[in-house]
Amino acid sequence: MGHTMDELAVGQKGSVKAINAPKQLKRRLMDMGFTKGVGVEVIKTAPMGDPMEVAVRGYHLCLRKAEARSIELA
């Protein structure tokens, strides 16, 4: 497995390669716009690093680190 989204620092960008999560979480992440090839950027994180705010498809969304860990980046 390559890098995952939870490893990105604020301001870093990546491209979604795959979502490695149980079916229900995978469906929810895909509904939020996380699909193969989509660019993502970490906008900011909470003081303890969880949750993190990310930009995807022009939207700002909040994700828990555990959710971000299931998004593999190219």
**CB neighbourhood size of 36 (10 A):** 12
Q: Which two tokens stand for residue 18?
A: 């795959």
**Quick one: average pLDDT of 42-71?**
93
Amino acid at 40: V
> What pTM did the predictor assign?
0.89
Interval 15-33: pLDDT, tens: 999 999 999 999 999 999 9
Q: What is the mean pLDDT of the chain?
A: 93
SS3 of residue 59 by DSSP: strand
CATH superfamily of 5-73: Ferrous iron transport protein A (FeoA) (2.30.30.90)
| Domain ranges across the chain | 5-73
**Quick one: average pLDDT of 21-46?**
95
CA atoms of 51 and 2, how far apart (whole Å): 21
**Quick one: average pLDDT of 37-44?**
96
Strands of the chain (E only): list them. 13-19, 39-45, 52-56, 59-63, 71-73
pLDDT(1) > 70: no
